[in-house]
Chains A and B, each alone.
Chain A
């Protein structure tokens, strides 16, 4: 059992209050319209949701991974679209924290803290999904500036982010060491937002293509060194995958709560639905799954925060387990509610659609299995971390 400190409790109470008062009343509407409520961006920034992991010295909250996940879980319990908005921004900040020069940090962190700017994370391309080594967006150095050409797809917060953390090829011959990470200003000449996707869920979070046509990026906006892109990406994923686990956990909890409330309040065949033992067993299984996902997630974030290495396989486990649980629990929550669960009138319907994406993004759950399998095969998975 995770014991929360007073500080954690008070932070989460604040987030819960904000989500309930500001986000929840509009969740159904923005899902239907498939529109990100732009005024919420500022409110989320004011609430501190964009500076969660920025160092205190730069005005941030410097949360560790456990605390970041607790916040994302809390937001996602009510609205997974806003959950991924917070998650995606934190994921885009991570490479800066891990690898950026003091100068670039000094430029970007105040933009986020004071100017309320959001950052999007851009790696995926149409031919480079699971295989991120297949990216083709190029960055050519000419007279002190990089020039980016190519396009990205399925980019979270496309169009609402102010900056993008973009991976591009700086040397074709080098493959893995030929990729670099850049900060691209969303107002740059030659940069544009391409197709906006219509999708099953997380509909209030825009997913778009990004198009680069000779976009000039100053050399100062190179994150880390040239050719370090992949290394930075792998380190970023170690931290970001559990945050998708947190989003998934939040969705599962939200749906479970919705189903329990419905089962308590709905009278069928002369008694509350929850008096049916079959329904009780379903709910019991859902609750158990949720608790197992939570236990694994916060065990892994604790390991990350204590710098246990290697962590990649554990990060992958926490993401894939929690998202599979979210899919199962939301599908069953709709089922418990029957015909009413299938209606948009109750949030379980949206949560089931939202849950599906957590099995897909930040590496599909098949890729997570590969990561775990690789660790097992290399024997860098061991039982050392088993609790005594």
Chain B
């Protein structure tokens, strides 16, 4: 168990912290939050410095690290700014299915541009009106010689408006009822005929990360775009989600830590009734609770990430638990941090109101905390 970070990990953490503190300026964040734009400039700088795709092998532009090192970066980014942090942390969203299951050609073609800051991926897993009902996808891909013909609709996919390519979960086998084995993941490039991408709608937070709705009308993709063997899509996606949960848990821990720090800084400075408000025991206990729960979430996160990198059987389950725990903590801590700042916390001039709105997303994606609880419960029933 990694109760201490290695020197290398500490260096990565430090570099991410310095980058975020230097680049994630409040004005920049506010501007992007209001205009609801992906932070392209900062993202490109992050790619140049090797923060994006650090968990890809060196041959693919990465640094050969694991999920653990990747989440150390996510945590530091979100600690400084939730909106910019989440946008950068998701700028490789969906790429892991190619990394883990793609062939060499696919990896070279799709992954290297992500680390160079020349392409943004997306994963279209959830169904339009089906929530996370992965067993009955309503996007179907019919094999026609060397092509698949895709029809259907999906919603809420991360980076949808910016994505250069998307990996799409499709039903590829029909009779007899194939269950989990009937799905495949196909890569669809932006601009492919029949592909229509629209925003999912305005949202509460994570304004720098787009969520989109995509419609496939007779979209043709070559069979070379399939990830792995036909029929593996569902399992590949579940594995991807295991990895992604941990990333979201890291976003949540970063938000919790950042919100706590801002609340503490304000409480030390703000004088009411003739003394800094942090001298009030009632407030001290609130801050203490926020610190305790954030530390617990971080310990959980690091454990889950470590187990994932080690390839434990239970890593996915632990990741689900860590995600639920950390995001619930982030929601509570950011709500309380706004409270510590009182009226100021509620205003857009201070980053906390944005952190609170952003924190809510971590309880919702990628699969709500209720779906995660069901997954945890199912494992208990076995």
Residues of A whose CB lies within 8 Å of any CB of B are 32, 124, 127, 129-131, 134, 153-154, 197-201, 266-270, 276, 278-279, 282, 327, 331, 334-336, 338-339, 341-345, 349, 352-353, 356-357, 359-361, 364-366, 369-370
Asked if A32 contacts B343 (CB within 8 A), the reply is no
Alpha-carbon separation in the docked complex, A124 to B374 (Å): 47
Question: Is B353's CB within 8 Å of the partner chain A?
Answer: yes
Ordered by A's residue number, 28 sampled pairs between the chains whose C-beta atoms are within 8 Å are A32-B202, A130-B273, A197-B348, A198-B349, A199-B346, A199-B347, A200-B353, A200-B356, A282-B370, A327-B335, A331-B360, A334-B204, A335-B369, A339-B155, A339-B156, A339-B368, A342-B203, A342-B360, A342-B361, A342-B364, A343-B200, A345-B201, A356-B346, A360-B343, A360-B345, A361-B343, A364-B339, A366-B280
Asked if B370 contacts A199 (CB within 8 A), the reply is no
Asked if A200 contacts B360 (CB within 8 A), the reply is no
Residue interface bits B313-352, CB-to-A below 8 A is 1, else 0: 0000000000000000001000100110011011111000
In the complex, what's the smallest C-beta–C-beta distance from A198 to chain B, in angstroms?
4
A356 and B373 in contact, given A199-B348, A339-B156, A343-B202 (Cβ under 8 angstroms): no
Alpha-carbon separation in the docked complex, A197 to B368 (Å): 33
Asked if B373 contacts A278 (CB within 8 A), the reply is yes
Alpha-carbon separation in the docked complex, A124 to B346 (Å): 15
Interface of A, secondary structure class, is mixed
Alpha-carbon separation in the docked complex, A365 to B273 (Å): 16
Asked if B335 contacts A278 (CB within 8 A), the reply is no
In the complex, what's the smallest C-beta–C-beta distance from A380 to chain B, in angstroms?
20
**B contact residues around A197 at 8 Å (CB):** 347-349
**A contact residues around B283 at 8 Å (CB):** 366
**B contact residues around A201 at 8 Å (CB):** 346
B364 CB contact (under 8 Å) in A198, A270, A335, A359 = A335
Alpha-carbon separation in the docked complex, A327 to B129 (Å): 28
Asked if A356 contacts B130 (CB within 8 A), the reply is no
A199 CB contact (under 8 Å) in B200, B286, B353 = B353
Asked if A129 contacts B272 (CB within 8 A), the reply is yes
Question: Is B363's CB within 8 Å of the partner chain A?
Answer: yes
List which B354-376 residues lie within 8 A (CB) of chain A.
356-357, 360-361, 363-365, 368-370, 373-374
Alpha-carbon separation in the docked complex, A339 to B370 (Å): 12
Question: Is B28's CB within 8 Å of the partner chain A?
Answer: no
- Residue on B nearest A267 in the bound complex, by CB: B129
Asked if B133 contacts A268 (CB within 8 A), the reply is yes
- Residue on B nearest A132 in the bound complex, by CB: B272
- Residue on A nearest B271 in the bound complex, by CB: A127
Question: Is B311's CB within 8 Å of the partner chain A?
Answer: no
Asked if A343 contacts B346 (CB within 8 A), the reply is no
A334 and B365 in contact, given A339-B156, A366-B282 (Cβ under 8 angstroms): no
Alpha-carbon separation in the docked complex, A200 to B131 (Å): 28
In the complex, what's the smallest C-beta–C-beta distance from A366 to chain B, in angstroms?
6
A339 CB contact (under 8 Å) in B126, B205, B353 = B126
Alpha-carbon separation in the docked complex, A184 to B335 (Å): 36
Q: Give the 3 A-B residue pairs with the shortest CB-CB distance, closest first.
A: A131-B272, A198-B348, A200-B353
List which B229-253 residues lie within 8 A (CB) of chain A.
none
**A contact residues around B272 at 8 Å (CB):** 129-131, 134
- Residue on B nearest A200 in the bound complex, by CB: B353
A197-B347, A197-B349 provided; 8 other pairs, C-beta below 8 A? A268-B133, A335-B364, A335-B369, A339-B131, A341-B364, A353-B357, A366-B283, A369-B282
